[in-house]
């Protein structure tokens, strides 16, 4: 019985990985990361730029949402713009009615517009797999 549960969880994880890779690639994003609220990486797209330190990025994203003095009014998403890229961080509440959440971190070209529909597609797929 325990092995069946692990196999099912592994299949869901692999499916989510494939979907994240496809949406990231089709959307023209530089990469996507799903992390815990503590900044621990759960999943990341295979298209990530090797120069990006994903562990550091996830930890910094978590600290933005966890420190009261950093962000006023506790937003659900934050966009950080650089000269050559944009980082969008979305807080995703889990469907278990708790205060727990995940972070979806997406790297994209600086001039990328109208990306929220694609982000929402990733979020919906993540929530279905929880």
Instruction: For the chain, give every domain's residue range.
Output: 2-129
CA 65 vs CA 95, 101, 111, 115: distances in Å? 19, 11, 25, 21
CATH number among 3.10.180.10, 3.40.1280.10, 3.30.450.30, 3.10.129.10, domain 2-129:
3.30.450.30
Residue closest to 45 by CA, chosen among 118, 128, 130: 118
**Cβ count near 13 (within 10 Å):** 13
40 phi, psi to nearest 5 deg: -85, 130
What is the mean pLDDT, run by run of 10 residues, along the chain of 130 residues?
A: 63 83 89 93 87 92 77 74 92 79 92 88 78
pLDDT value, residue 61: 92
CB 8 within 8 A of CB 79: no
Reported residue count of the chain is 130
pLDDT value, residue 89: 93
Read off the pTM: 0.84
pLDDT value, residue 33: 93
pLDDT value, residue 57: 94
């Amino acid at each position: 019985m325990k092995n069946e549960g692990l196999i099912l969880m592994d299949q869901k994880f692999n499916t989510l990985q494939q979907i994240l890779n496809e949406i990231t690639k089709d959307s023209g994003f530089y990469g996507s990361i799903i992390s815990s609220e503590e900044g621990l990486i759960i999943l990341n797209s295979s298209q990530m730029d090797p120069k990006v330190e994903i562990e550091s990025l996830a930890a910094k994203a978590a600290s933005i949402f966890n420190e009261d003095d950093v962000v006023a009014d506790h937003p659900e998403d934050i966009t950080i713009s650089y000269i050559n890229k944009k980082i969008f961080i979305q807080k995703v509440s889990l469907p278990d009615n708790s205060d727990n959440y995940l972070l979806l971190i997406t790297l994209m070209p600086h001039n990328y517009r109208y990306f929220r529909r694609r982000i929402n597609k990733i979020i919906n797929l993540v929530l279905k797999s929880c």
